[in-house]
C-alpha cells in the first residue's frame, strides 16, 4: 500500500503512535542538524524504524518537517490567542510572559526548529504566517490599542511590543547554553526561568505603566 492510499483510510491507534514516534525523532534530528543537515536515514534510526517503514507514514523529509512545523505553530500561537480583551492588562500580559517562558523551558527543541525555519525565509510556513499568524497578531494589536485608549497601558506601537515580547522570551530557549554559561553554576539551575519571568514582567510593566 502506498503512502497516498494509506492517507485515504482512517488511521489506527498503532498508526497514530508510529507517526508520533517519527515526529518525536524528527524533532530531535531537525533541532540539531537543521532541515538541510537532517536526513531520512537519521530520522529512521532515531525512531528505531527501517527507512521503508518510515516512508510508509511520511513520503519525504519535507512532509515530516511540514507536519512538525504545523503542529508547532498551533502550540506557539496558543498563548497569544488566549490574551483576553476583557481581562486586566497587567494580568493578561503577565500570563502571556509566563506562558512564553514556560515554553522556552519546556520546548527548546521546538523553538530552535521554528527559529531555523524563519532564518531560512520560512519556505514551509510562509502561507501560515500570512494567513494565520498575521490575522491573530492584528487582532491582539487591536486589543492592546483598546487598552491604550482606555488609559490602562501606555501608548506604544502594539506590533513592536509583541515582537519585543517574542524576542525576550524566546531568547531563553534559543540561547540557553549561553545563558547558563554566563550565569554560572550558582544561578543556572531551573530557577533561571523564574528569574527571567520576573525580570521581563518588571521590564515591560515599567515601560507600559500609564503616565
Convert the pLDDT of each residue in 10-38 to its tens digit: 788 888 999 999 999 999 999 888 888 99
Give the CATH class of 69-208.
mainly alpha
Terminal C-alpha separation, the chain: 67
Each residue's pLDDT tens digit, 129-185: 999 899 999 999 999 999 999 999 999 999 999 999 999 999 999 999 999 999 999
CA 26 to CA 23: how far, in whole Å?
Answer: 5
pLDDT for res 197: 96
Each domain of the chain, given as residue ranges in start order, spans 3-59, 69-208
Can you give the length of the chain in residues? Answer: 211
Is residue 72 predicted with pLDDT exceeding 90?
Answer: no
Cell of 142: 487591536
Each residue's pLDDT tens digit, 81-109: 999 999 999 999 999 999 999 999 999 98
Using the CB atoms, write b or e for 36-66: b if 16+ within 10 Å.
Answer: eebebebbbebbebeeeebbbbbeebeebbe
Which residues, in sequence order, are CB contacts of 160 under 8 Å at separation 6+?
none
CA 24 to CA 46: how far, in whole Å?
Answer: 9
pLDDT confidence band for 7 (50 / 70 / 90): low
- pTM for the full model? 0.84
pLDDT confidence band for 40 (50 / 70 / 90): very high
Q: For the residues of 130-186, what is the DSSP string, one character each?
A: IIIIHHHHHHHHHHHHHHHHTTSS----HHHHHHHHHHHHHHHHHTHHHHHHHH-TT
CATH code given to domain 3-59: 1.10.10.60
Amino acid at each position: 500500500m502506498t503512502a497516498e492510499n494509506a492517507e485515504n483510510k482512517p488511521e489506527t491507534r498503532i498508526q497514530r503512535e508510529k507517526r508520533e514516534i517519527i515526529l518525536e525523532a524528527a524533532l530531535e534530528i531537525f533541532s540539531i542538524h537543521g532541515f538541510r543537515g537532517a536526513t531520512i536515514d537519521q530520522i529512521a534510526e532515531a525512531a528505531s524504524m527501517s527507512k521503508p517503514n518510515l516512508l510508509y507514514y511520511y513520503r519525504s523529509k519535507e512532509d515530516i518537517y511540514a507536519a512538525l512545523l504545523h503542529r508547532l505553530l498551533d502550540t506557539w500561537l496558543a498563548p497569544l490567542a488566549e490574551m483576553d480583551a476583557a481581562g486586566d492588562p497587567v494580568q493578561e500580559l503577565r500570563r502571556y510572559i509566563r506562558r512564553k517562558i514556560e515554553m522556552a523551558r519546556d520546548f527548546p527543541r521546538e523553538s530552535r526548529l521554528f527559529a531555523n525555519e524563519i532564518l531560512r525565509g520560512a519556505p514551509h510556513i510562509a502561507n501560515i504566517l500570512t494567513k494565520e499568524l498575521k490575522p491573530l497578531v492584528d487582532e491582539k494589536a487591536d486589543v492592546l490599542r483598546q487598552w491604550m485608549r482606555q488609559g490602562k497601558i501606555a501608548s506604544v506601537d502594539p506590533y513592536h511590543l509583541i515582537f519585543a515580547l517574542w524576542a525576550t522570551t524566546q531568547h531563553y530557549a534559543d540561547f540557553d547554553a549561553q545563558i547558563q554559561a554566563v550565569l554560572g553554576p550558582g544561578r543556572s539551575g531551573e530557577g533561571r526561568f523564574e528569574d527571567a519571568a520576573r525580570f521581563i514582567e518588571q521590564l515591560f510593566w515599567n515601560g507600559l505603566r500609564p503616565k
